[in-house]
Every structure is written in structure tokens, then in C-alpha cells.
Amino acid sequence: MAAAASALPVRRLTLYKHGVGLIERGGALEGDEAVLSLRSDALNDTLKSLLVVDGGGGQVLGLEYTTPRDRDIELQRYPLGDGDNHSLIDLLRGLRGWSVRLTTSQDGVATVQSGRVLGVEMLRPSLAGTYAVLRDAEANAVFYLPLQQLARIELLDERPSRDLQSFLDLIRTEETHCEVRIRLSPGAHDLEVSYLVPCPTWRVSYRLVVEAMDAADAGGQTSQLLLLGWGLFDNSLDEDLSDVSVTLTAGQPVSFIYDLAASRVPARTVVEDAAHIAAGPVEFDQALAAAPAQAAPMPVAAKMASPAVAGGPAGGMARDMLDVPARLRRARESLAQQEVVAAGSDLGEMFQYVVTTPVTVRRGDSALVPILNAPLRGRRELLFNQGKLPGHPVAALRFTNSTGLTLERGPVTVYVDDAYSGEAVVPFVKEGGEVYVAYAVELGIRVSVETATTSEGAGIRITGALLEEKQALVMRTTYRLENTLADERSVTIEHPVWPNSELAGTPDPEARTAEYYRWSVPCLPRRATTFAVAERRYTWQSSALLDRSYEALREFLRRRWLDGPTLARIEGLLREREAIARNDERIARLQAERTELYEREEQVRKNMTALSAGGDEGRLRARAVSQLAACEDRLEAIEGEIKSLQQDSAGRRTSLDQQLAALRVDTS
């Protein structure tokens, strides 16, 4: 006997922000089966998360559910009817070859004819012109029976009878719902069932009431606040919820959809059998000692289905494995005894609001449940942030979350002095965190912003031949606040922190967050007030020390980044480098002259080959020989001078490198 889902009412509903809900049912029932009716889209989550505990001493034997299938593909397996307008004709065509008994009726006279169905003959396109064709083996005859007179069809074979039953079950199946059957041992049960289903995410809505003002406060800014929180959720189940415990959980646990319900047959490689001669018997010598027999491990499914496990009582394993919800329920019952609207508990990565009053919600309806009612002490401020709202400050309430709960992100409606004053969004804030609720724009104060950036040197660092110059980039932001109101107001300026910078010539901020500085600026009535924020960021530029001119180095001396003796040392190094550069230039000129002499000698030698030794040609030949001798003398002098210059430059470079290696300056 099966117990329907209504026999296991919902006791607790836990909703999460990522679109799932934990349903916890419980109750006593008799029988060997409990049935959960689910939406089809919830089947995978249920199979992934279902926990069943029998506290009455019974045992959970397993689960059954209808495997989701493609309805059109499944219908093709049953050729008993695939048309919506001719189901009788389709049925008879599907019974072709099977034995049936047909009963026809005409003028109150019934005629019975048995046989195997040959088919359906349509003489005219109407039921009156359509006949069932049967063959009677005993009479060795074929009969035509008009379908218009057909009153009864009896299936005489078992196979088509089963197919027809399966076909009817399939077309009856609702595509939007399915059933999960929990098989139980016979007898009485006290079941606790929990499982996940897709659910709309719950939401939170706040009311912030400014109850009173402290007259003793100089600015009249400190206020008594009352923060009210309401959790909104939807009953998306197919049943009414009556006196259900509701828990709203904030956080982002890892969650996903895993298709467990659908069955799949993976493709496999087709291997054809090969012809072989059967092998003869293979015998082995007897082992020296027989190994002790070991029992095969029992599958998990078999353990759950057995009446007793490992000598324990029936159902013991299921209770041991599924005891976590019971412990959680005991903790929730303890929290529910507290005299508060909602009990909160920190779960590490998550936070939950346990509504202490049972909730009743009809199917398809939504409900607002109170989760917070906390008095606070806050401060009314005017807050300006150029990046969030340029032009004007916003009226804001600042308070510390001392509610003992984590505030989930949600809209808040603000009431000041019993009047609606505006709306805002409360961010996600842990206990002890600061909350700013900006709910209105103060049009009586206008703020303009100007920004200017300058750059200047801030020091140097010399390490050997490397010169590093420190540059200070200063950004100055000027806020001009024009108060057109008749009384003095104080505006909190929220200025963005410039990354890798420091304040320069600006008062220390009253507060600082990871992204903003905050200063409170008094604004006199009918006056304009300016407030400047200067921030300085340092950068470094690298270059070779000896690539800088002496005039640039003298500028470092003027700024007192270099002292006189160090500048003199560097000046000597520059002269050494200039001497090396002059040597290099002289060597380059000598090498060019040497190349020119080589070319001249080559031309003279070519001319000498065409001259004879006597007469005028002999005189020309003697003259060419003299020219060649002069070129050789000059080439020899050039080689000597180049060698001398190279030796001088090498010595100067060695000395220069040694002096540079010992040079250290840091005025950053």
C-alpha cells in the first residue's frame, strides 16, 4: 500500500539565494511505499539530494521512478495507434498478425468472429466503407467485418495486450510531473524525508525608521533608528504550506544540475566474431596450498535492501548514514525558543535566518516573513561622491550593523519623522560592518570638482653607471561646495584613493576604506566653501649616468641631490669619457685614411704594370715607386698611432669602470 505525498506534510522549508530549496517532510504512515509527486524539472535535484530516515524501526529498501523518455520516440515502439483521428483503424493495423475476437452488432443482433488480423480495407474514405479483414484458420476463410458495426475487440495474445497497456500508460503520462516511489519494509513508519528542488530565490526588503533626534547633539545628527527586515519567498510547490518552519539562507554554495534521471546507452565499437577452432581443455598442476576463501563485498544497494546489516537492527545503516538532518533540526528547535523575530546563525560561508513563527502559504502564493527587528543608533549625514552622483550630496544614514545578524543585500525604504523620505539599497554586511544608506539628494548644496596634475623631480639614485630619477606626480582635486540653504550643513566628501599614492599637504581623513577617503567639511549658509585634496605618486626613470650633460648634473647640485665632491668626481669621469670619445673619433679618421691609401696603392700598381723600364715610361715608373714608398711610410705611421690611441682608451676605460663601480648616491 502506498502513502501519497500529502501523508508526509512539509515541516520545514529552507530557501537559498542560488535558486534551490530544501524540502523537509515528515510523518507517520502505514504501508510499504511512499510516493513523492514532483515537477519534472525537480527530478534531477531530488535524485541527487534525497535523504530518507525511518525513525519507526522500519527500513528504506530503495527508490523507483519513471525514467524520463522522449515521448514521440517511445510511441514509435508501439504500433497500436499513432493517429489522433483514426485510433480504431490504427489499433487494428497495429494488431496485424495477432489473434483477436471481434464482436459486431446490427439491429440488436451480435455476431462474434475470431481470427488473425490481416489488415484494414478502406473501400471508401469513411468509417462506413472500412472493413477489418480476419482470417479464420479453422474455417480456412477470410472475413470482412464492417468497422461501423464493430462493438468489441478482444485480444487473444498476451504480447499485444501488454503493449496496449504500456501504450496507454505512456500517453497518459504528464510531461510536467513525475513520481518518486520510496519502497519501505511492510508495517508502520515514522519517516523524515528531505530533498532539494528548484525554487525561486528569496528576497529581502527593509524598512528604516528614524524614530527620534538627540537634541543634545550639536548638529542634531545622531538618531535612534529602527531597522525592520522582511524575507519574501514564493510557494512554488504544488500544495499549500501550513504551519511550516521557514529558514532563509544567504551565501553562495556550489550547486549545479546533474542529469541523473535520464538513461543513456553509450556507443560502443562493433567487433565481429572470427572463426576459430575450439580450444581443448587446459589443465594446471595443483597448488601447494589452497588460499583461504574470501567473501565478495556486498554492493551498497544490496546492503540497503537487506533486512539486517552487519548484525545490526533493521534500518540501522540508513539511520547512521542519514542522521545529519536530525541534528540540524535539534539545533533549529533550540534557536526557535529565543524571543526574537528571527534567529540568525553563521554557517561559515553562509548565514541563515530561522523564522521563529510557523508560516502558512497557499499554493502559488508568496509571503513576507519578519526576519529582523532591531533598534540601532545612527548618524544622519550629507555624503558627496563625484563618481556615484555628481553635482549634489545625498542625504544618508550611517550606522554599524549591531543586529547580531548578517544583512543580506536588499532594498530599504526610509521614514524620517513619520514621513517617507526615500529609498536605497542595503549592501551585504556582516555583523559589526558599517552601513551607509543614501536615500535622498540634497539639492540645496551644489558641488563642483576640478582636477589638475603636475610633475616634478623628487630625488635621484646613482648605482654605478645607472642613474635613476624619482618623479613626483601630484594630482590636486578641488571641491567647491555652494550652500544655498539658510543654515549651516556639514558635507562628508568621499574621495577615491589614488592607487600607490599618498596625501600631500592635506589633513588626515576622518575615515578611510579600501577605496575612499572621507572628510567632513562644514558649509556656512549662503556661502561657497572650497576643500582641496592633493595626492602624490612617485615614479622612477632610468638612464646611463654618463649620458647626462654636465649642465644637467649641475642642476642636481643646485637641488642638493649631489654634493660638490661627488659632482667633481662625476665631472672627472665625464672628461675621461670625452677623452675616450676623442680617441675613438681620431681612430675612425685614421682608419678612413688607411682605406684611402690602400685604394691609391692599388691604382698605382695597376698603372706600373703598363709601363716599360726605359725612356719616359721608365721615369714614370720610378715616380710610381716613390709614391708607393710614401704610402707605405704613412700606413706604418697610421698603424702606430691607432695602436697608441687604442691602448690609451683601454686604460681610460678600465679606470672609468673602476671609479663608476665605487660610485653610490641616494637622495630619494
Q: Residues 474, 501: one domain?
A: yes
DSSP-derived 3-state class of residue 585: helix
How many Å apart are CA 576 and CA 595, to the nearest integer?
Answer: 29
Section 140-167 average pLDDT? 85
Decide which of 153, 172, 191 is a domain's last residue: 172
pLDDT at position 258 over 90: no
On the question of pLDDT at 321 being above 60, the answer is no
Residue after which a domain boundary falls, among 515, 547, 579:
547
Q: How many CB atoms lie within 10 A of CB 275?
A: 4
Asked if residue 528 and residue 566 are part of one domain, the reply reads no
User: Is there a domain that residue 345 lies in?
Assistant: no
Give the pLDDT score at 406: 87
CA 331, 337, 340, 342: dihedral to nearest 10 degrees?
40
Contacts of 95 (CB under 8 A, 6+ apart): 80, 117, 155, 160
- Tell me what the mean pLDDT of segment 356-380 comes to: 88
Number of other residues whose CB lies within 10 A of the CB of residue 248: 25
Find, among 376, 379, 381, the residue nearest to 431 by Cα. 376
278 occurs within a structural domain: no
Residue 570 lies in a domain: yes
Q: Pick the residue with more confidence: 177 or 471?
A: 471
Mean pLDDT of the chain: 80
Q: Which of 10-14, 145-149, 361-365, 391-395 has the lowest mean pLDDT?
A: 145-149
pLDDT in tens, 421-453: 999 999 888 888 889 899 999 999 999 999 999
Confidence class for position 81, pLDDT limits 50, 70, 90: low
Q: Give the domain range for residue 99.
A: 71-103+114-172
Answer whether residue 220 shows pLDDT above 50: no
Mean pLDDT of 409-422: 89
What stretches of 392-431 adopt beta strand conformation (E)?
394-400, 410-416, 419-426
567 and 531, same structural domain?
Answer: no
**Integer Cα distance of 361 and 472 in angstroms:** 65
End-to-end CA distance of the chain: 89
- DSSP character string of 530-550: EEEEEEEEEEEEEEEGGGS-H
- Residue-level pLDDT at 274: 56
8 Å CB contact between 147 and 131? yes
- Percent of the chain past pLDDT 90, that is, above it, reads 25
- Both 543 and 472 in one domain: the answer is yes
Q: Do 541 and 577 share a domain, yes or no?
A: no
* 555 and 523, same domain (yes or no): no
What CA–CA distances, in Å, run from 638 to 578, 624, 628? 22, 21, 15
Residue 47 within any structural domain of the chain: no
pLDDT in tens, 341-358: 556 656 556 678 888 888
pLDDT band of 331, cuts 50, 70, 90? very low
Residue 286, domain member (yes or no): no
- Cell output for 547: 649620458
Lowest mean pLDDT among 136-140, 225-229, 436-440: 136-140
Position 565 pLDDT exceeds 80: yes
For residues 572 and 637, membership in a common domain is answered with yes
**Domain at 167, CATH number:** 2.30.30
| pLDDT recorded at residue 339 | 40
| Closest residue by Cα to residue 32 from 66, 64, 59 | 59
List of E strands, 235-315: 241-250
Does residue 273 carry a pLDDT above 70? no
Question: What's the pLDDT score for residue 76?
Answer: 61
The pLDDT value given to residue 536: 93
Q: What is the pLDDT of residue 413?
A: 93
- Among the ranges given (165-174, 231-240, 349-358, 415-424), the one the predictor scored with the smallest mean pLDDT: 165-174
What is the model's pLDDT at position 160? 84
Integer CA distances (angstroms), 257 to 20, 45, 181, 194, 546, in order: 11, 7, 21, 18, 68
Residues 616 and 533 placed together within one structural domain of the fold = no
Residue 225 pLDDT exceeds 80 = yes
Residue 124, domain member (yes or no): yes
> Among residues of the chain, what percentage have pLDDT more than 70?
80
Is the confidence at residue 216, as pLDDT, over 50? no
Average pLDDT, stretch 300-315?
32
Taking CA atoms, 555 is separated from 135, 159, 456, 574, in Å, by: 121, 107, 13, 16
Q: Which residue type is seen at 656?
A: L
Total structural domains within the chain = 3
512 and 592 housed in the same domain: no
- Looking at per-residue pLDDT, the higher value among 164 and 125 belongs to 164
Q: Is residue 472 part of a domain?
A: yes
Model pLDDT, residue 637: 92
In a domain, 586, yes or no: yes
Residue 252's pLDDT is: 67
Can you give the pLDDT at residue 580?
A: 92
Out of 156-165, 283-292, 316-325, 505-514, least confident range? 316-325
Split at pLDDT 50, 70, 90, the class of 163 is confident
535 with 597, same domain?
A: no
Report pLDDT for 533: 96
Across 201-215, 303-317, 640-654, least confident range: 303-317
pLDDT of 644 reads 93
Higher-pLDDT residue of 578 and 273 is 578
Task: Tell me which of 259 and 407 has the higher pLDDT.
Answer: 407
Over 70: is that where the pLDDT of 278 sits? no
Q: Report pLDDT for 79.
A: 60
Q: 66: how many CB neighbours lie within 10 A of its CB?
A: 15
Query: Which residue is listed with cell 514521440?
Result: 72
Given 499, 532, 547, the domain boundary residue is: 547
User: Do residue 630 and residue 600 come from a single domain?
Assistant: yes
443 or 252: which leads in pLDDT: 443
Give pLDDT, residue 369. Answer: 87
371 confidence band (pLDDT: 50, 70, 90): confident
Residue 313 has pLDDT above 80, yes or no: no
Rounded to the nearest 10°, the torsion over CA 385, 391, 393, 395 is -120
Q: What is the pLDDT of residues 447-461, one digit of tens each?
A: 999 999 998 888 888
In this prediction, residues 406-410 reach a mean pLDDT of 89
Check whether 279 has a pLDDT greater than 80: no
Q: Are 466 and 502 within one domain?
A: yes
Is the pLDDT at 145 greater than 70? The verdict is: yes
Rounded to an integer, the average pLDDT of 95-105 is: 88
Per-residue pLDDT reduced to its tens digit, 570-594? 888 899 889 999 999 999 999 999 9
